[in-house]
């Protein structure tokens, strides 16, 4: 798939109206895009073209002689999934536009409002989004494979390895580390590592053991990313025996001294006849042979090295490694070692000779080093880069999606203001508005993978949100749900929206696991968690949300991957539900666990720390008769407003909303333009009464920086932050910024009118 401006774009236009086809061609010419275009007038002709030739872009009129409406788009989607599709229409059917986007169109353009710039932007953004989604699928598969490989390497490594957070909390350790520290690995997870660690600076520690003796341990550490966070990989090697042996063997021959100098690697010592006299444990493990079986045998039988190019065995490994004129092995890097089980691994090999006073060879020491450690470090760096790519991509998608929702909601709310409540279209517009607001949940899932989804915590209880979620999601379902809760359920510090999202995901999954009906049991209870009782969870008091179903269950293989981003077994799933739930609960300093097996249902448990604060109970007004909810009040006003947004459609919608409310509006597309416009207006004696700034502007200055600069210029600045995604904490903590209020995207006309009324009228 090309970028929108990298090469000639192959376009297929479905249009039976010759005038409209000519107009599209004219707009494409004015857009300065390099393209070739084929025009077909019937759906059947276009399908034949798509089967015969690959196109980069399809411009599709939904009204053709042989097909109408969304069926036209569905037919194209069934024919091919490679082309980017933009729908063209002559009507303002909002419901049809949403349906087209759900089916698979990248954009939806109205012919009456079409121009060369709108068409150019739509093509460029549609192609770029398609490219990003394709790369995301590739990156996700690679990350899942490398994360699994990394864990296997850890478990199989004979060195003691631990993963520590920056606060020295033990996040993971392999079995060798548990053996070295004489403790069950599961009991150590969550504990604080008691020794100081310096990256890339090996140190030695003295550790007492159970027999009141002291062991000397070599500690080395490197920085890495673990589960998306900065961490330390700590490697511990018990060198007690080596230190003791060094003191005793300092009086022995040079051969033993050389061997002990390299004991941390795989070392093989041979006698003058090239027979194995000694090899260390690392060498035995690397070769796959016991020390007893190796000692006394010819080195060529024990150490089977292969030529890196021909794959042939080296008949005399010692001579091949020590002879500087040996031409068959051009480098000591990348030599293949054949283990006793037939497996071949890449190693570095070096041989040192011990000579007597007469210069005769008295023996040799061969040192082997497994290159898998180097590969593991490279994999860690690669994993970190890919996770960062996912974070950036998720944030970008959330930004664009919220802008589109804001444009939709803004237009809907303006139309509804002009209609009476009893108008025949008022109810339909309300339903569309409600659907658009529900689409915010997908954006919130994406935000949990980016830096813009920080929770806004408040003291609350989970019982009400759990009950409301169950009633809403299961309405009309053939699944029954029961909720049990402790009478004095503790309060928690939580972001209500994010925790509701987690509960919704769990209930939806449970419901979908029982297509033929069943029951869901939800239990809310207070728990005192003891040390190491729940992996990765410190001891303390927690509120547990337990969701149990009697559905199809999850296989043991899939159970290990259900919290991985974009992993799904559902045909139409996006793999974000449980992954975002895990991220949300982790950001709340809790954890989520799963138990399941095929045919026996599943149980998910969410653990949230008890809040140290008490929940203030609200007194309810007595008696009240049920009344119809009051109609939302829209506050009109007057004054000059400066709107800054990089997306033209969003900027125009915001301007129309403000104009409808009675304000005069000027526009800017980035922070530099906004600063210049604000200063010019103030110096001309026509200052702006307020500013509405988008925080994120790809490739330019965003609203946060612009507002900070303007606040220094004008301490009386009245600025509103309006964004659907940002890497800062402005939207959750605007009082510590240059802004006086926030209106999160997507928003309706009421939210904007309330914010301006409050700021400008006190």
Q: Which residues of 674-697 are buried (b: 16+ CB within 10 A; e: fewer)?
A: bbebbeeeeeeeebbbbbbbbbbb
Largest CA distance in the chain: 111
What's the pLDDT at 343? 81
Which pLDDT does position 6 carry in this prediction?
Answer: 55
Q: What is the DSSP string of 613-678?
A: SPPPPPPPPS-----PPPPPPPPP--SEEEEE-SSHHHHHHHHHHHHHTT-EEEEESSHHHHHHHH
DSSP one-letter code for 275: B
CA distance 78 to 56: 16
Taking Cα atoms as reference points, which of 538, 530, 543, 540 lies closest to residue 499? 543
Res 744: pLDDT: 81
pLDDT of 391 reads 57
- Closest C-alpha among 275, 268, 216, 222 to residue 242: 216
Class of domain 9-136: alpha beta
Q: What is the pLDDT of residues 705-717, one digit of tens each?
A: 999 999 999 999 9
Separation CA 526–CA 522 (nearest Å):
14
Residue 630 confidence (pLDDT): 40
Nearby residues of 750 by Cβ (< 8 Å), 6 or more positions away: 413, 632, 633, 634
CB atoms within 10 A of CB 488: 6
In the numeric block, the tokens 């909390």 are attached to: 169
pLDDT tens-digit map of 282-325: 888 888 888 888 888 888 888 888 876 677 777 777 766 765 44
**Which segments of 157-230 does DSSP mark as H helices, in order?**
175-180, 185-188
For the chain, 762 residues long, the average pLDDT of each consecutive 10-residue run is 66 89 87 88 90 88 87 86 83 80 84 85 82 76 71 78 89 84 83 84 78 80 83 85 68 54 73 84 85 86 78 73 47 69 80 75 80 58 53 62 68 68 68 64 54 67 87 84 92 86 88 90 93 81 95 87 75 68 86 91 94 68 38 82 87 86 92 94 94 86 92 93 71 82 82 90 78
**Sign (positive or negative) of CA dihedral 670, 673, 679, 683:** negative
Return the closest-CA partner of residue 717 out of 642, 635, 667: 642
Phi first, then psi, for residue 68 (nearest 5°) are -135, 150
Beta strands 518-529 and 492-494: pairing type?
A: unpaired
Domain with CATH 3.40.50.2300 in the chain: 9-136
pLDDT at 750: 85
- pLDDT, position 52: 87
**Average per-residue pLDDT in the chain?**
79
Q: Give the residue range(s) of CATH 3.30.450.20 domains in the chain.
A: 157-238, 242-370
Nearest to 510 by CA among 500, 520, 498, 522: 520
pLDDT of 451 reads 44
- The class level of CATH for 242-370 reads alpha beta
Structure tokens at 635: 């506050």
Going by C-alpha positions, the residue among 585, 510, 500, 604 that lies closest to residue 551 is: 510
**Interhelix angle 426-438/372-417, nearest 10 degrees:** 160
Could you report the per-residue pLDDT of 120-174, keeping only the tens digit for each? 888 888 888 877 877 777 777 776 676 677 777 777 777 888 888 988 899 888 8
Which spans in 418-564 are helix H?
426-438, 440-447, 463-473, 496-512, 556-559
Q: How far is CA 250 from the centre of its chain?
A: 54
CATH placement of domain 157-238: 3.30.450.20
Q: What is the pLDDT of residues 337-365, one digit of tens each?
A: 888 888 888 788 878 787 777 777 778 88
What is the C-alpha to C-alpha distance for residues 173 and 176, in angstroms, rounded to an integer? 8
Cβ atoms within 10 A of the Cβ of 41, count? 18
Strand partners for 226: 229
Query: What confidence score (pLDDT) does residue 569 get?
Result: 74
Q: Which pair of structure tokens corresponds to residue 647?
A: 């997306």
Q: How far apart are CA 51 and CA 461, in angstroms?
A: 57
Identify whether 746 is preceded by a cis peptide bond (ω within 30 of 0): yes
Tokens in use for 539?
């001891």
Strands 602-609 and 540-549: antiparallel
| CA quadruple 537, 542, 547, 548: dihedral, nearest 10 | 70
Q: What is the pLDDT of residue 395?
A: 60
Q: What are phi and psi of 593, to 5 degrees?
A: -125, 165
Separation CA 510–CA 421 (nearest Å): 38
pLDDT score at 663: 93
**Per-residue pLDDT at 482:** 93
**What is the domain class of 462-609 according to CATH?**
alpha beta
Query: What pLDDT digit, counting tens, does each position of 404-437 carry?
Result: 766 676 677 667 666 666 676 666 667 666 666 6
Pairing of strands 602-609, 160-165: unpaired
């Amino acid at each position: 798939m090309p970028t929108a401006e990298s090469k000639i774009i192959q376009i297929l236009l479905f249009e039976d109206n010759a005038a409209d086809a000519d107009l599209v061609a004219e707009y494409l010419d004015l857009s300065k895009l390099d393209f070739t275009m084929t025009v077909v007038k019937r759906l059947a002709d276009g399908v034949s073209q798509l089967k015969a030739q690959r196109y980069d872009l399809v411009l599709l009129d939904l009204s053709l002689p042989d097909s109408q409406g969304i069926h036209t788009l569905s037919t194209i989607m069934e024919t091919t999934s490679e082309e980017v599709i933009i729908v063209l229409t002559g009507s303002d059917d909002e419901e049809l536009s949403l349906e087209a986007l759900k089916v698979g169109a990248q954009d939806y353009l109205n012919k009456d409002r079409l121009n060369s710039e709108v068409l150019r932007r739509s093509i460029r953004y549609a192609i770029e989004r398609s490219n990003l989604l394709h790369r995301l699928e590739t990156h996700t598969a690679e990350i899942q494979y490398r994360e699994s490989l990394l864990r296997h390497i850890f478990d199989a490594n004979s060195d003691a390895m631990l993963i520590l957070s920056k606060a020295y909390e033990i996040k993971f350790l392999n079995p060798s580390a548990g053996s070295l520290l004489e403790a069950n690995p599961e009991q150590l997870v969550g504990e604080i590592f008691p020794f100081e660690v310096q990256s890339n600076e090996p140190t030695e520690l003295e550790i007492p053991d159970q027999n009141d003796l002291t062991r000397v341990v070599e500690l080395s550490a490197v920085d890495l990313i673990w589960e998306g966070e900065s961490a330390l990989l700590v490697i511990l090697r018990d060198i007690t025996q080596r230190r003791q042996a060094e003191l005793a063997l300092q009086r022995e021959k040079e051969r033993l001294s050389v061997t002990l100098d390299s004991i941390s690697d795989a070392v093989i010592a041979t006698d003058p006849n090239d027979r194995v006299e000694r090899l260390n444990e690392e060498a035995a493990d690397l070769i796959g042979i016991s020390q007893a079986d190796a000692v006394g045998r010819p080195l060529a039988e024990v150490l089977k090295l292969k030529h890196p190019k021909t794959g042939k065995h080296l008949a005399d490994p010692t001579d091949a490694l020590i002879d500087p004129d040996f031409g068959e092995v051009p480098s000591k890097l990348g030599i293949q070692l054949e283990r006793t089980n037939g497996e071949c691994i890449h190693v570095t090999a070096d041989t040192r000779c011990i000579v007597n006073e007469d210069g005769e060879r008295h023996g040799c020491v061969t040192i082997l080093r497994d290159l898998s450690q180097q590969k593991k470090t490279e994999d860690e760096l690669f994993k970190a880069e890919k996770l960062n790519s996912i974070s950036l991509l998720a944030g970008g998608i959330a930004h664009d999606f919220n802008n589109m929702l804001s444009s939709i909601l803004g237009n809907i709310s303006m139309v509804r203001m002009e209609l009476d409540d009893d108008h025949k279209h008022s109810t339909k517009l309300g339903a569309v508005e409600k659907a658009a607001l529900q689409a915010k949940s997908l954006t919130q899932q994406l935000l949990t993978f980016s830096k813009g989804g920080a929770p806004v915590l408040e003291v609350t209880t989970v019982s009400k949100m759990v009950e409301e979620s169950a009633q809403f999601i299961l309405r009309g379902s053939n699944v029954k749900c029961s909720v049990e809760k402790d009478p004095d359920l503790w309060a928690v510090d939580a972001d209500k929206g994010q925790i509701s999202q987690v509960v919704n995901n769990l209930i939806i999954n449970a419901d979908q696991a029982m297509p033929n009906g069943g029951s869901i049991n939800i239990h809310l209870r207070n728990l005192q968690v003891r040390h190491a009782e729940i992996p990765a969870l410190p001891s303390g008091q927690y509120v547990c949300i337990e969701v149990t179903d009697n559905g199809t269950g999850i296989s043991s293989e899939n159970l290990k991957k259900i919290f991985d981003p974009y992993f799904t077994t559902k045909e139409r799933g996006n793999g974000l539900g449980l992954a975002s739930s895990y991220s949300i609960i982790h950001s709340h300093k809790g954890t989520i666990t799963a138990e399941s097996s095929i045919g026996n249902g599943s149980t998910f448990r969410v653990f949230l720390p008890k809040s140290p604060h008490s929940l203030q109970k609200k007194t309810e007004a007595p008696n009240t008769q049920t009344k119809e909810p009051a109609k939302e009040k829209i506050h009109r006003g007057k004054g000059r407003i400066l709107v800054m947004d990089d997306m033209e459609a969003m900027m125009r919608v915001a301007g129309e909303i403000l104009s409808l409310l009675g304000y005069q509006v000027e526009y800017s597309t980035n922070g530099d333009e906004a600063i210049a416009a604000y200063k010019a207006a103030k110096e001309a004696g026509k200052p702006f009464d307020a500013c509405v700034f988008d925080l994120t502007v790809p490739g330019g200055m965003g609203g946060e920086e612009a507002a900070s600069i303007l606040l220094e210029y004008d301490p009386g600045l009245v600025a509103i932050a309006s964004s659907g995604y940002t890497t800062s904490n402005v939207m959750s903590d605007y009082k510590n910024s240059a802004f006086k209020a926030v209106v999160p995207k997507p928003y309706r006309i009421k939210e904007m009118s309330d914010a301006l009324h409050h700021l400008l009228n006190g």
